[in-house]
């Protein structure tokens, strides 16, 4: 295992990011030949897979002018996600004391009046936010992705694109768009397994979001490549780090030798490279096991291996 002790540094000039890491942390033991790389916000040894530490942004904080500080104080208002709300339920007050019948009936009337003045935007989000939170927990995705999904869905509601479309289907499409923005290698099928939304309906809503919502929010989805899926599938198959490195190496070699990956499902490519790497290092993983994780057919895996054999040497 690798242990690192922090040193005091009093240099006036800020070193580069990689040099700064090796100056501040002294490696005691990791593996015989450590190869440190930055992967998904962590310093990782590519030879043994040991996670050394998180990558922290040590850039100096921005200094705001007096006018900017004044604007921030004026504009920063603490609000709930769906606006200021007062929840009135039950027959007890905030301290737990029992309310009299007259006071309870009075608050019941106030609650009814309050619900009558809520607009359609708030009513929609009141239903959508718990569904989105449940989806986030079940998919185990970061909070920043869920916040972007909520931002996209709020824009959908404001543009009144919800007419004739269900909340669940629009939420699923918003979540998928947010995951593509952050390059998280989860498929739409995995979202639909939780929400039970028809695939065609979710695809239509996703295309609607691409055309009508994302340009107005200055957001752009990223096309996932085979290397993103290789990292995910290697972890799910519990293969060693050397298999991951070799699979990435084969992918780079194939591209350098003219193999065209455009138009091909990156999951099928990742499955083919992982299967080849597992055979090289003697890791017993069948084509069926890999295809179940990658959600592709065995025919696709064999077809990709046949294509790759023309560009690189595979077992």
Residues pairing with 121 in the sheet: none
**Of 59 and 55, more confident:** 55
Percent of the chain exceeding pLDDT 70 equals 80
Nearest to 267, CA basis, from 293, 236, 305, 241: 293
CATH homologous superfamily, domain 120-217: Cyclin-like (1.10.472.10)
Residue 168 binned pLDDT confidence (cut-offs 50, 70, 90): very high
What does the pLDDT average to over 286-302?
90
Range list for CATH 1.10.472.10 in the chain: 120-217, 226-308
Percent of the chain exceeding pLDDT 90 equals 23
The CA distance from 173 to 170, in Å, is 5
What does the pLDDT average to over 39-62?
76
Q: Estimate the share of the chain in helix, then strand, then coil, as percent rounded to the nearest 5.
A: 55, 5, 40
pLDDT of amino acid 104: 82
pLDDT of amino acid 105: 83
Cα 253 to the chain's mean position, in Å?
Answer: 28
| pLDDT digit string, tens, across residues 221-234 | 888 888 888 988 99
User: 3-state DSSP call for residue 46?
Assistant: coil
| pLDDT digit string, tens, across residues 132-156 | 999 999 988 888 899 999 999 999 9
**What is the pLDDT of the chain when averaged over all its residues?**
80
pLDDT of amino acid 71: 61
Give Cβ neighbours of residue 256 (< 8 Å, ≥ 6 apart).
Answer: none
Residues pairing with 5 in the sheet: 26
* Across 20-24, 29-33, 200-204, least confident range: 20-24
Helices (H), 29-142: 66-75, 101-116, 120-139
State phi, psi for 49 to the nearest 5 degrees.
Answer: 80, 10
CATH homologous superfamily, domain 226-308: Cyclin-like (1.10.472.10)
CB of 228 within 8 A of CB of 266? yes
Structure tokens, 225: 């490549």
pLDDT of amino acid 260: 85
Where do we find the tokens 């190869």?
35
* Across 110-119, 191-200, 253-262, least confident range: 110-119
CA dihedral 235, 237, 239, 242 (to 10 degrees): -60
The answer to whether residue 6 scores a pLDDT higher than 50 is: no
Q: What is the largest CA-CA distance in the chain?
A: 84
pLDDT of amino acid 70: 62
The CA distance from 305 to 310, in Å, is 9
């Amino acid at each position: 295992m690798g242990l690192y002790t922090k040193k005091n540094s009093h240099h006036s000039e800020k070193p580069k990011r990689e040099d700064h890491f090796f100056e501040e942390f002294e490696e005691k033991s990791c593996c015989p030949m450590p190869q440190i790389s930055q992967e998904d916000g962590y310093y990782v040894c590519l030879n043994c897979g040991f996670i050394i530490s998180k990558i922290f942004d040590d850039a100096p904080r921005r200094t705001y002018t007096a006018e900017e500080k004044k604007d921030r104080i004026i504009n920063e208002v603490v609000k709930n996600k769906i606006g200021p709300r007062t929840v009135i339920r039950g027959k007890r007050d905030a301290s737990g004391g029992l309310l009299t019948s007259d006071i309870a009936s009075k608050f019941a009337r106030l609650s009814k009046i309050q619900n009558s003045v809520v607009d359609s935007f708030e009513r929609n989000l009141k239903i959508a936010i718990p569904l989105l939170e449940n989806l986030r927990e079940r998919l185990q995705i970061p909070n920043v992705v869920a916040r972007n999904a909520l931002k996209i869905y709020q824009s959908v509601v404001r543009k009144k694109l919800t007419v004739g479309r269900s909340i669940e289907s629009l939420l699923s499409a918003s979540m998928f768009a947010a995951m593509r923005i952050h390059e998280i290698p989860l498929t739409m099928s995995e979202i639909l397994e939780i929400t039970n939304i028809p695939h065609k309906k979710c695809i239509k809503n996703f295309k609607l979001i691409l055309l009508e919502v994302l340009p107005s929010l200055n957001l752009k989805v990223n096309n996932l490549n085979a290397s993103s899926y290789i990292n995910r599938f290697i972890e799910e198959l519990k293969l060693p780090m050397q298999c991951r490195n070799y699979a990435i190496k084969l992918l780079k070699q194939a591209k350098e030798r003219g193999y065209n990956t455009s138009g091909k499902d990156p999951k099928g490519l990742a499955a083919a490279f992982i299967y080849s790497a597992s055979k090289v290092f003697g890791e017993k993983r069948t084509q069926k096991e890999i295809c179940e994780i990658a959600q592709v057919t065995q025919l696709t895996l064999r077809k990709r291996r046949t294509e790759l054999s023309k560009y690189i040497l595979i077992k």
